[in-house]
Amino acid sequence: MSENIVLVRNAFDETPTTSPVTSPVLSTAGLERPDLVEIGTLFDTIAIPDSIVHIANTNELNMTWKELQTILNSLIAEQCKLAEENVKDETAKTMVESLTTKITYSINEHSNCPFTIQRLCELLIEPKKYYKMFVKYLRAIDKVLSVTSYWEDFVNRPTESVKMDLD
């Protein structure tokens, strides 16, 4: 592996110094980060189903979890396919494939809708509102899906009325 030189600023000195850094993520061509593919307009051509927009806006489910799983898997696969075309670095491609596999697995392994479904739908309909870089966006989706509580555990719970004795 070749060494890459990165400019490091000494905290007590105003002049930058150089120090060797070995990293598979940094490339020698202009010190670019190939894992940080910008989302930009990549997903502008993807049609977002109304049901996903509805969930993002209201946190109300209007379909079964199985139906929603199919839609989520399809949307994420389409986004990943479009983004992977712009990932040229093999290390970054491996990272994207690994995250995509983990996300798909997480969606399929949930027996019910995760309680973070509204946030997931928000990310899917407006990814560049929250994230500029594709890999960071995938990590956010992965984190949203790493929960173990379900939507039905938190929604439509009967509220207990509190009686106050006014003497």
Question: Which among 69, 83, 71 is positioned nearest to 136, based on CA atoms?
Answer: 83
Residues β-bridged to residue 96: none
Distance of CA 165 to the CA centre of its chain: 50
The whole-angstrom separation of Cα 79 and Cα 128 is: 12
pLDDT tens string 73-131: 999 999 988 888 888 888 888 888 999 999 999 999 999 999 899 999 999 999 988 88
- What is the average pLDDT across 28-44? 67
Helix ranges (H only) for 27-89 are 50-58, 65-84
Task: List the chain domain ranges.
Answer: 1-32, 50-153
pLDDT (0 to 100) of residue 94: 87
Neighbours of 39 (CB within 10 A): 21
Residue, of 82 and 19, whose pLDDT is higher: 82
